[in-house]
């Protein structure tokens, strides 16, 4: 293979034009760089921009918000007093006292709150007969009245041997006496279906156990602090009889009406005798510790345990029946206490805790039903109740 030599006469002509670049001269170490010219403070301040701390901006914004809400007054009474009871609509920023709203708001709502004008609640139309029967899962509404099942008088009295010892007779539960007119019973069920639909609640005739809440195994009467009274065999038969009647469409003589002060409430549509079974308190079963910050106003105690983490409550915010609309009395008003005509009693039924609503005296037609919310614990605020 041939090689090329720079000294050879046949060298390339471009080789003679190549030159070596000289390196820059180094500065002696004794020399120092020239001094930089510093700007004066006046020049710096002239070009500077004022910087505001974020915290100062937030404080100013909060002060502006407070100043803007200082003049807010109640749209109902026109007064701006009682800031702790003044609710502001999250949409229109109008103020309303909790006592001035209809129905009255007992506690400050959790989360966003809208006034009546800004809410999307629409009036519920009257339900047809077919929809009412489907709502309560009643297959067919018949006119038959089975005297052996609907009245206690047809029962044959048991003959018992009389003893010389006089014992106090135990009062027994009485079965409900439905209205004889089928159309009237249909109207009564229609008022309940309308109220439940307006609040977005589904009907249920028993306790509901939802995954993520308290399981059914947690509802055992043996966990009750101090024990729980057991429902007798005769009263259990009465309870099962009333439940069978409701499944046939033979509901108790009750109607749900709307009151501008109390909201939805229950009235007797016929005479009800003392100790008559009215309804069972139904809804979702959950632990009390999960509902401590819940704004539901109808939570009912189901199980009081020695361990607070095992205490159970009934929450009728998604599932419920007519017991959800029976209002409570004002424990701090002697006149309001006289309105009480029924009570909630917790029984042990087949090893599980259940809550039954029972009449405590004779109730006449047109009378509203009331019971004591603080029958077991005196923790529920009833100061605002009528």
Q: 327 has which bridge partners?
A: 370
Give 334's contacts (C-beta < 8 A, 6+ positions apart).
none
- In whole angstroms, what separates CA 171 from the centre of its chain? 36
How far is CA 372 from each of CA 332, 363, 385, rounded to the nearest angstrom? 11, 16, 11
More confident residue, 372 or 206: 206
Q: In this predicted structure, what is the pLDDT of residue 370? A: 92
Task: Report the candidate in 239, 122, 132, 240 with the shortest Cα–Cα distance to residue 191.
Answer: 132
Residue 86, Cβ neighbours under 10 Å: how many? Answer: 18
Most confident of 65-74, 337-346, 352-361: 352-361
Q: 284 has which bridge partners?
A: 208, 315
* DSSP-assigned letters across all residues of 186-251: HHHHHHHHHHHHHTT-EE-SSEE--TTS--GGG--GGGBTT--PBPPHHHHHHHHHHHHHHHTT--
More confident residue, 297 or 124: 297
Q: Where are the alpha helices (DSSP H) in the chain?
A: 41-47, 54-69, 129-135, 147-150, 182-198, 233-247, 334-337
Q: In this predicted structure, what is the pLDDT of residue 9? A: 47
Q: How far apart are CA 222 and CA 231, in angstroms?
A: 14
Task: Report the candidate in 336, 335, 333, 339 with the shortest Cα–Cα distance to residue 370.
Answer: 339
Determine what percent of the chain is predicted with pLDDT higher than 70: 69
Q: In this predicted structure, what is the pLDDT of residue 116? A: 81
Please write the tens of the pLDDT for every residue from 246-290: 988 899 999 999 888 788 999 999 999 999 999 999 999 999 999
More confident residue, 24 or 300: 300
User: Judging by DSSP bridges, how do beta strands 283-287 and 207-208 pair with one another?
Assistant: parallel
Determine what percent of the chain is predicted with pLDDT higher than 90: 37
Q: In this predicted structure, what is the pLDDT of residue 11? A: 47
- Give the CA-trace dihedral at 204, 206, 207, 209, to 10 degrees: -60
Q: In this predicted structure, what is the pLDDT of residue 12? A: 47
Q: What confidence category does residue 171 fall into, taking pLDDT thresholds of 50, 70 and 90?
A: confident
Q: How far apart are CA 67 and CA 101, in angstroms?
A: 25
Q: 264 has which bridge partners?
A: 258
Q: How far apart are CA 377 and CA 298, in angstroms?
A: 14
Half-sphere exposure of 252 (CA within 13 A, CB side): 31
Q: In this predicted structure, what is the pLDDT of residue 45? A: 75
Q: How far apart are CA 321 and CA 325, in angstroms?
A: 8
Q: In this predicted structure, what is the pLDDT of residue 276? A: 95
Q: How far apart are CA 126 and CA 195, in angstroms?
A: 10
Give 110's contacts (C-beta < 8 A, 6+ positions apart).
293, 294, 295
Residue 25 pLDDT greater than 90, yes or no: no
Please write the tens of the pLDDT for every residue from 188-246: 999 999 999 988 899 999 999 999 999 999 999 999 988 899 999 999 999 999 999 99
Of the listed ranges 48-62, 158-172, 214-228, 342-356, the one predicted with least confidence? 158-172
Q: In this predicted structure, what is the pLDDT of residue 13? A: 47
Half-sphere exposure of 369 (CA within 13 A, CB side): 34
Instruction: List the end-to-end C-alpha distance of the chain, in Å, as a whole number.
Output: 117
Q: How far apart are CA 270 and CA 75, in angstroms?
A: 40
Compute the mean pLDDT over every residue in the chain, rounded to the nearest whole number: 78
Q: In this predicted structure, what is the pLDDT of residue 286? A: 95
How many separate helices (H) and strands (E) can be counted in the chain?
A: 7, 15
Average pLDDT of the segment spanning 33-40: 67
Q: In this predicted structure, what is the pLDDT of residue 253? A: 95
CA angle 323, 356, 154 (to 5 degrees): 110
Residue 41 pLDDT greater than 70, yes or no: yes
Please write the tens of the pLDDT for every residue from 306-354: 998 999 999 999 999 999 999 887 666 777 778 889 998 999 999 999 9
Q: How far apart are CA 13 and CA 231, in angstroms?
A: 122
Average pLDDT of the segment spanning 114-130: 70
Which structure tokens are listed for 230? 């057991």
């Amino acid at each position: 293979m041939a090689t090329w030599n720079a000294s050879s006469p046949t060298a390339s002509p471009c080789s003679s034009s190549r030159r070596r670049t000289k390196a820059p001269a180094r500065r002696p170490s004794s020399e120092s760089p020239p001094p930089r010219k510093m700007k004066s403070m006046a020049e710096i301040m002239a070009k500077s921009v004022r910087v505001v701390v974020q915290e100062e901006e937030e404080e100013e914004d909060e002060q502006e918000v407070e100043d803007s809400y200082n003049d807010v007054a109640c749209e109902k009474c026109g007064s701006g007093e009682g800031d702790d009871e003044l609710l502001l609509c999250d949409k229109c920023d109008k103020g309303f006292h909790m006592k001035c709203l209809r129905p009255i708001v007992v506690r400050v709502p959790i989360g966003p709150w809208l006034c009546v004008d800004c809410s999307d609640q629409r009036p519920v139309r009257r339900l047809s007969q077919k929809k009412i029967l489907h709502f309560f899962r009643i297959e067919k509404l018949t006119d038959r009245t089975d005297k052996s099942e609907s009245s206690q008088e047809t029962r044959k009295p048991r003959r018992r041997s009389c003893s010389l010892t006089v014992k106090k007779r135990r009062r027994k539960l009485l079965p409900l006496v439905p209205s004889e007119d089928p159309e009237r019973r249909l109207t009564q069920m229609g008022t309940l279906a309308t109220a439940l639909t307006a609040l977005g609640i589904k009907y249920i005739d028993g306790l509901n156990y939802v995954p993520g809440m308290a399981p059914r195994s947690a509802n055992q009467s043996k966990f009750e602090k101090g024990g729980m009274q057991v429902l007798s065999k005769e009263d259990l038969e009465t309870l099962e009889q009333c439940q069978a009647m409701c499944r046939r469409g033979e509901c108790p003589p009750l109607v749900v009406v709307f009151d501008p002060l109390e909201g939805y409430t229950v009235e007797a549509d016929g005479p009800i005798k003392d100790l008559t079974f009215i309804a069972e308190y139904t809804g979702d079963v959950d632990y009390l510790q999960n509902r401590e910050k819940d704004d539901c106003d109808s939570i009912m105690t189901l199980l009081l345990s020695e361990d607070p983490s095992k205490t159970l409550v009934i929450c009728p915010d998604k599932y419920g029946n007519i017991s959800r609309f029976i209002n409570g009395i004002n424990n701090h008003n002697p006149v309001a206490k006289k309105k009480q005509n029924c009570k909630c009693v917790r029984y042990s039924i087949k090893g599980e805790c259940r809550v039954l609503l029972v009449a405590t005296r004779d109730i006449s037609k047109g009378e509203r039903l009331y019971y004591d919310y603080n029958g077991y614990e005196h923790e529920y605020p009833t100061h605002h109740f009528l």
